Homo-oligomer: A and B are copies of this chain.
């Protein structure tokens, strides 16, 4: 029996999983293959359905399919890619339970790692904006929204209520529009179960950097979508963009501060850092391939999906045209990539990529949508039905189809489900960003985090006992920490800490900080010195 050709596929999205499927399908006893997929998760996300996780109109696990159910004969490695050695033809993966890396040698390598959400570049975004790309993101957003509603229902401060009930989405492409529409639908329906929240207290804002939303589709459809969203009470802020974010605000480029606890950013995605690290020809981080999907200069390295620049047939040197980053293109690229790998193995002629695209679909919530298919434009209810039908037929597997179908059916009759699935405790060490004038905490607050300044400056202020104002008692800068009184016992903060210069801090949960201080000699000694210094002013009577 001939030795199988070993193909390693990096990434388990549509591109990677369907490449594996076709590779196995095209194999023959004379030309066997051994297909490996390296993916961090053991499932493939059905991206178009992801926004429906927010409202729970599909179940959490219904938007994903286990990879080994789609391609039972591929070998799945649930790992991160650590290194690609193009000379040795080997991929090193992160260790699993056993702390040794896993090395996979290949005859052919297919790179389909997609892209990632990358919030670097906008101040405070990484710390305080919520991404919307993975199943985890969708679930986290859903839980956060339910948490906000629970809090708002018992909160009496009108400003805080307003802030909690303001939902901001940045980015007016497909993803941003579908997220704000789903958020709106969900909150509007859910609020009926919260007796102290009025419908008109809820505010929905969509930020977009251009003149109109949905740049992917025809202007008439986009304007239809805009009117539809506006009619529902969603505010569209066009020609603007996010300049910064804090835990309390979305800050626009003109300085406007929108007080909110929920800022979702669906900004253009960035290249995957693994792709960035591979020494292959790229254009702004995306891999350059020829029409056969081969990475330029290699006959056994292939790239496809969102991490590759796949030239379309009408592409010329002067006016290059590339396949857009959609599922329909990824699926066709996967079929072609598998064919061309088999052709290479058998010494046959390769075929070029020729798919022109079928069109675009967007769901707008409330059983409305817009669609542009094979030259036809459809809007409203028919477009929504088309949306559901087309994506439903594309879902992998009968079980998935049945489950989603049943959920959609039940959803017609029952109000949305409101379970807030708190999963794991919040991380011990977090990054936070504050803007000048903002309080990190106020005197009298309860608090259970300790803060370490990475950059910026903060003032420590204490109220005068006679209530006539406050005195600055210290200014803190990089390398200094504050809030450590919370370590001693649950006491209210004895001073206010206010940001003076844009402030980046590490914040650590009380328990974790205490454990470190107690058990790490290096930290305790330094900490005790500082505590002794700070104890002195506290002996003078101050309000606490």
Contact = CB atoms under 8 A, between A and B. Distances in A.
B521 A516 contact: no
Contacts of A136: 421-424
A102 B154 contact: yes
Contacts of A414: 398-399
A454 B519 contact: yes
B43 A95 contact: no
A533 B258 CA distance: 52
Contact of A402 (B410, B429, B493): B410
Interface stretch (A74-82, A238-246, A356-364): A74-82
Contacts of A194: 68
A64 B421 CA distance: 10
Interface in A66-105: 66, 68-69, 72-73, 75-78, 82, 94-102
A56 B519 CA distance: 41
A68 B420 contact: no
A97 to B, nearest CB: 5
Interface string A93-121: 01111111110000000000000000000
A257 to B, nearest CB: 17
Contact of A66 (B193, B427, B446): B193
Interface string A405-435: 0100010001101111111110111000000
A453 interface: yes
A447 B508 CA distance: 23
A390 to B, nearest CB: 23
Most buried by B among A42, A72, A164, A399: A42
A519 B482 CA distance: 13
A76 B146 CA distance: 13
Task: Count this chain's copies in the assembly.
Answer: 2
Contacts of A508: 516
A523 interface: yes
**Chain A interface residue bracket vs B:** 35 or more
A452 B160 contact: no
A422 B39 CA distance: 13
A41 B420 CA distance: 7
A515 B429 contact: yes
A469 interface: no
A151 interface: yes
A68 B418 contact: yes
Nearest to A520: B452
A155 B402 contact: no
Interface stretch (A201-209, A323-331, A524-532): A524-532
Interface string A505-544: 0101001100110011111111101100000000000000
A139 interface: yes
Given A402-B410, A418-B42, A446 B520 contact: no
Contacts of A479: 519-521, 524
Nearest to A423: B423
B146 A69 contact: no
A233 to B, nearest CB: 24
Contact of A442 (B41, B59, B99): B99
Nearest to A453: B519
Contact of A76 (B150, B157, B403, B417): B150
A472 interface: no
Contacts of A59: 59-61
A262 B522 CA distance: 35
A388 interface: no
Interface of A: 40-43, 56, 59-61, 64-66, 68-69, 72-73, 75-78, 82, 94-102, 135-136, 139-140, 146-148, 150-151, 153-155, 157, 160, 164, 193-195, 261, 398-399, 402-403, 406, 410, 414-415, 417-425, 427-429, 441-442, 444-447, 452-454, 478-481, 490, 493, 506, 508, 511-512, 515-516, 519-527, 529-530
Query: What are the 4 closest A-B residue pairs judged by CB atoms, nearest first?
Result: A522-B526, A99-B445, A479-B521, A66-B418
